[in-house]
């Protein structure tokens, strides 16, 4: 019975449940690594949050952490 239930997941559900959160997590991880913060401690905290609390970490980073970055002028 369990195999039938797992096999009945369609492509749309798979995209929403697995791929989308994974893509957003990787994006947040890369963005933290590439960004400059006021201190290295802030960068480490955001990195640890995104790694160890994947779903909550990237949500917090998007709404709070991105505003704490140092804006670069090229």
Reading the block at residue 33, the tokens are 């690594």
pLDDT digits (tens, 9 = 90+) for 4-19: 455 566 667 777 778 8
**The pLDDT of residue 74 is above 70:** no
In this prediction, residue 6 carries a pLDDT of: 53
pLDDT digits (tens, 9 = 90+) for 23-62: 999 999 999 999 999 999 999 999 999 999 988 999 999 9
Tell me the three state secondary structure of residue 72: coil
In this prediction, residue 50 carries a pLDDT of: 95
The runs of H, that is alpha helices, within 1-74 are: 2-7, 11-14, 20-34, 40-52, 54-63
How crowded is residue 60: how many other Cβ atoms within 10 Å of its Cβ?
A: 15
The residue among 12 and 63 whose pLDDT is bigger is: 63
Tell me the three state secondary structure of residue 69: strand
**The pLDDT of residue 21 is above 80:** yes
């Amino acid at each position: 019975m369990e195999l039938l239930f797992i096999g009945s997941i369609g492509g749309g559900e798979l995209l929403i449940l697995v791929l989308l959160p994974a893509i957003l997590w990787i994006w947040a991880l890369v963005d933290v690594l590439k960004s400059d913060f006021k201190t290295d401690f802030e960068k480490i905290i955001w990195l640890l949050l995104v790694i160890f609390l994947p779903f909550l970490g990237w949500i917090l980073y998007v709404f709070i952490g991105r505003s704490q970055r140092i804006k670069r002028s090229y």
